[in-house]
Amino acid sequence: MTTITSASTLVLLLTSLIHANGLNLINQTQIKNFLQEIYYQPYQEFSRDALLFRYPNFDSWKRPADKPITIAIQVGHLMIDQLPLELRQLAQGGGARRGTLKEVDINNDIAKQAARVLTQYGYKVELLPSLIPDSYNADVFVSIHANAGDANTSGFFMGGPAVDYSEKNKSLKWSLIQEYASSTGMMYLDRTSENIKFYYAFNWSKFKHTIFPKTPAILIETGNMNNLNDLIALTLHRDRMAEGIANGIRAFLQQTHTSPEDFE
Ligand SMILES: [Zn+2]
């Protein structure tokens, strides 16, 4: 029995098979892209080896000094049907739901309002759907979600990647907790969630469409759709949630960068 040792051998084999059968539907480049999408997995977990495998110049990488401060806000589950093959399995869930209320609509509204506040503060904001560009780089990345847990639990929680190569996540998380709690009056739940630590957009060791690991990144679960108090807040007080997130991001940037005007 022969073992296929490399992706290029596999591409050649598949191409010849498809052509031998008279099916000229896909060409070699398409097959190659297809394989890259379904198999981009140099390492299973975050590690320094994985990091240097994907980003050989990681240690010497520096943020371009003339680039304006850029804030990325991801709308959790938005346009999930457009995810590439490597992430297609995530499209099945589609986010939390309560009756006709969909998590994605809540996320979208909060994200847009937070973006508006940050733009008024003078920052450049990019709103992102589920699919983010390959090795996406920004000064902050915040992904907005709402969970649907135990009905008796009220509160918000958040977390960043399993390994923080930005070395700024603690500060980002702290600023967000303070400001979100003060704007919404909601309780912070100190939870560590594996789902958050290995969130696909953080997981550059497994997927291509992820943040560059020096991007400070947090995923926030803004409230529990199954809890009555949180549901009311998630329905009627999204402006306060948005303000909390925007102020948290601004507080973080003021600690770690200069103000946006300095780049003009
Ligand atoms: Zn979600």
What is the per-residue pLDDT for 57?
Answer: 93
CA atoms within 13 A on the CB side of 8: 0
pLDDT in tens, 95-109: 888 888 999 999 999
Ligand 1 centroid–CA 132 distance in Å is: 15
pLDDT in tens, 162-209: 999 999 999 999 999 999 999 999 999 998 788 899 899 999 988 889
Ligand 1 centroid–CA 144 distance in Å is: 7
Ligand 1 centroid–CA 203 distance in Å is: 16
What is the per-residue pLDDT for 135?
Answer: 92
What is the per-residue pLDDT for 121?
Answer: 96
**Residues measured by CB to lie within 5 Å of ligand 1, the ion:** 76, 95, 145
Residue 90: exposure state from Cβ atoms within 10 A (0-12, 13-18, ≥19): middle
Q: How many residues does the chain have?
A: 264
pTM for the model: 0.82
The domain locations on the chain are 1-39, 60-263
Ligand 1 centroid–CA 106 distance in Å is: 10
What is the per-residue pLDDT for 193?
Answer: 83
What is the per-residue pLDDT for 242?
Answer: 98
Ligand 1 centroid–CA 56 distance in Å is: 32
252 in Cβ contact with 229 (< 8 Å): no
What is the per-residue pLDDT for 192?
Answer: 79
Ligand 1 centroid–CA 4 distance in Å is: 39
What is the per-residue pLDDT for 181?
Answer: 98
Ligand 1 centroid–CA 164 distance in Å is: 21
Ligand 1 centroid–CA 111 distance in Å is: 13
Tokens at 113, concatenated: 């309002």
Q: Give the CATH superfamily of 60-263.
A: Zn-dependent exopeptidases (3.40.630.40)
Residues of the chain with pLDDT under 70: 1-8, 10-44, 91-93, 258-264
Q: What is the CA radius of gyration of the chain?
A: 21
